[in-house]
Amino acid sequence: MATELTHYIGGKHVKGGSGRFADVFNPATGDVSGQVPLANEDEVNAVIENSQAAFHAWAATPVPKRAAIMFSMREVMTQKKDKLAEAISQEHGKTFEDALGEIQRGIDVVEFACGIPHLIKGELSPNVGGDIDTYSIREALGVVGGITPFNFPVMVPCWMGVMAVACGNAFINKPSERDPSAALILAEFWTEAGLPDGIWNVLNGDKVAVDGLLTHLNVPAISFVGSTKIGEYVYQTGNAHNKRVQSFCGAKNHMIVMPDANMDQAVDALMGAGYGSAGERCMAISVAVPVGEGTADELVKRLKPRVQGLKIGPYNDPEADMGPVITGEAKDRIEGFITQGTKEGADLVVDGRGVSLQGYEEGFFLGGSLFDRVTPEMEIYKQEIFGPVLSVARARDFDQAVTMVNDHEYGNGVAIFTQDGDAARAFSSKVDVGMIGVNVPIPVPMAFHHFGGSKRSKFGDSQMHGPQSVHFFTKMKTVSARWPSGIKDGAQFTMPTNR
């Protein structure tokens, strides 16, 4: 029987009141496992008002006390990570170990936030002129929103919300309707860690909830991760309502394989980065670019049996390399791209369609697919497939490989595999991409650095986590002060200076 899910508002679970619900599936079986409420405008306004009421006391809480709750949350997440991973895997479909890896990357941000007393410090310039001292203060913004995707239902809310609340804001997470349970459990963990009620909330919903956050006067900032089409809408709508917006969007990540690359390492990297989590990662490698025909022939020769040998299974199969995709619609869309690729003239070396597992015949399973001789004119090269499909697009030389990367509309992540330091250095300088890996296939930075792409992979000028997150979730005040000392300057009618 399907479970009726809730919102999480003011430190407790709240039943949906709109009368609208969406089905939540178990991707391995195809069964409906839950019903998630879809908020109406009144519910959106209510959660914002609740958060606004809680915000002021939290913003006034001494920073070391906020840091202490970050330390506590780290312990709660570490001790109960299996519960979170189970919820992720049941609704997303990714393997249990993959879910644990996602949670660890969320914990990394909590660890970074433990240093908030240092990160949020202002600056002081004494005696800038005439016994005047000038200093800066960073203050919280208020109630901020995070619109998060299905593929990382714990990691991405942590990337946004942890730094938001550490800086003194209240945070409203609008998770994906496809796998909302992990977000609700994460909110419970914050309550257990001692975060005041109303500071971390979960508002389930669809476009009504998104638009409510984007247009409400008392939500000054929005962080988004998802598709480019929706991300551009979020960015434009938020800006039109005078909000700070950071919007992280689609990707088509290339991996350049130079002739001198360690081929064993390159193949291992492509298997994990291309097919891990069924390719449902914004940093997945979806295009391999071998330089030279000999390199390409060898790469495809080695990839083919590895892709054919991928172990497909449900999340609780400890031997599974890859689970199902998120929904039946996603499976149909990915299969449609595979069909289109063959029509466009690409060589389908391995066809991942038609997978059926005994006992899981209704699950949303696909095998790994591998294309060769893909060209930039093909839709399978242009579009983000977001599934277990790897395309090999051959380049005649290094310069053409760089051009392919730079000519693509997306610029999220890229990698180069080579043993030539000069080639790696030149590549890192020439490509217009936000995150670059040198012999690292998925160059997602650690929490104390910044995450973010370029071109149509990101809208807004702010990166996620790292020191820039403090800037995004705070406002700056600058104070110039002089205390009476018996000096009488008289009225000044010209622009003040330090002369």
Catalytic residues: 282
447 DSSP 8-state letter: T
Provide the terminal-to-terminal Cα distance of the chain, rounded to the nearest Å. 77
At residue 317, the 3 state secondary structure works out as coil
Q: Phi and psi at residue 481, in whole multiples of 5°?
A: -135, 140
Instruction: Find how far residue 80's CA is from the centre of its chain.
Output: 22
d(CA 244, CA 223): 8
Bridge partners of 124?
135
Q: Phi and psi at residue 381, in whole multiples of 5°?
A: -85, -40
Nearest to 176 by CA among 212, 206, 208: 206
In our burial notation (b when 16+ CB lie closer than 10 A, e otherwise), range 435-463 reads bbbeebbbbbeebeebbbbebbbbbbebb
Nearest to 497 by CA among 128, 10, 53: 128
What sign results for the dihedral spanned by CA atoms 406, 408, 412, 413? negative
Alpha helix positions (H), 95-206:
96-113, 116-119, 155-157, 163-166, 181-193
CB 109 within 8 A of CB 179: no
d(CA 300, CA 267): 9
Place of tokens 């599974």: 320
SS3 content of the chain, % helix, strand, coil (to 5): 40, 20, 40
Element (H, E) at 403: helix 398-407
CB 323 within 8 A of CB 28: yes
Query: What strands, in cross-sheet order, belong to the sheet with 413-417?
Result: 347-350, 369-372, 389-392, 285-290, 253-257, 413-417, 435-438
| Amino acid identity at 498 | N
CB 404 within 8 A of CB 254: yes
Q: Structure tokens of 101? A: 């890896």
